[in-house]
Amino acid sequence: MSTEKKPWGGRFERSPSAFLDEFGASLPVDSRMWAEDIRGSIAHARMLARQGVISADDAEAIEAGLSRIYREIRDGELEFRIADEDIHMAIERTLTERIGTAGGRLHTGRSRNDQVALDTRLYLKGRTLELLRAEFALRQTLLRLAVEHAEVIMPGYTHLQKAQPVLFAHHLLAYFWMLSRDAVRLRAAHDAADVMPLGSAALAGTTFPIDRASVAGDLGFSSVGANSMDSVSDRDFLLDAAYACTVTMVHLSRLCEELILWSAEEFGFVTMDDTYSTGSSIMPQKKNPDFAELTRGKTGRVIGDLVGLLTVLKGLPLAYNKDMQEDKEGVFDALDTTRDALVVMEGMLATVRVNADRMFAAAHGGFMAATDLADHLVNAGMPFREAHEVIGSLVLRLEREGRTLQDLSAEEWVAVHPSLGADALDAVDIRSVVGRRTSEGGTAPAAVAAQMDRCREVLAADGQWLDARTG
């Protein structure tokens, strides 16, 4: 049995054992929220003094004590005990030991339930901004890479089979738009956390004449929770963050999969920088895309983080339940993993070498101008299904002969069908094939240039949003 007096121990004759203290403690996980806890406590103490709930002297002593604790934690000079259970009790105990009864008045008008919710929301707001900055940098690099290689043509794939040629820039910008949607999700998680729960107390509010709006203003919240029970039990904002991280990681994993394939000798489309590659302990010639593979692999753990939190919350009655102590570790892991993956991916793309000649040569295989030939016959009056059959039969023949569409002469095109002739040579020219996709969002150079302008507009708007919240 533990001999240490608990802050809630008045009703109990015995305390949990040291083993149960360790089993029940969240301090190893929530200790990272120490700065948010101190910031929230200072705002709460100031409000209590303004409202006449505690004296100005007590509020000053509390703030001075908390400021000292802040500096000591920041500088690595203060350690906490596992018996404190969590960071909130650890800081309050230290404060009370140092300043006496004034420290005991800090908890007036609040509960650990709304205090935990406050700290978690403050922490998540800061972390989502951190991820948004990393994601913003990656989108900048994707756009820069697309601009630098705006004329490079590569094979486009469906079912991992060559389909139609596209601009490499067009392919890269597909990921730009994926990550832009990820930014929307991360911003939604930030905004969902931007509601202050403090003042809800345990679940029913408090009898003290507190001013929740002033505390919200001091802490930078846009609003206060409308329902005290919901405020202490809501973890939707954590689900939003975990989901945003999960989808982001899925997108990064898809990009990593392509980089892994493209860097293989069979493709040779890109060469990974040595700093983002590793070797083999037995095969001297190997250069492995390990960091792309790790990012792909870490996606699984972030998916698991989301599923874990959903499972914790799925059957909880109102209001607070101890199960909710398990709400943070997985989300913290998801945030950490996603941030690191974004940083790794940005560095990987910033240093990759694009092998444009290899891409262009590969774009001539796979009969990728076949659709344009069918369209050419349609424009000559042939029904599409008939044109599809004619060109499909031609592809089958050329495949058996080991030839490509570009190998046929004008005379051979006429022999295939009277509607085909010298103009068929242009129809199968790979640059012409790409250039004809002029529809909005298509892969033609003009369409991609317009798309790049839209990317710049999106980045400008997102940059303004970030600047307004991060200074």
Per annotation, catalytic residue among 17, 55, 67, 280: 280
* Residue 228 is among the residues annotated as catalytic for this protein: no
* Residue 432 is among the residues annotated as catalytic for this protein: no
Cα 280 to its chain centre, rounded Å, is 31
Per annotation, catalytic residue among 159, 171, 233, 419: 159
Taking the C-alpha atoms of residue 405 and residue 425, their distance in angstroms, rounded to an integer, is 9
Taking the C-alpha atoms of residue 237 and residue 258, their distance in angstroms, rounded to an integer, is 32
Question: Between β-strands 353-354 and 270-271, what pairing exists: parallel, antiparallel or unpaired?
Answer: antiparallel
Active site residues per annotation: 159, 280
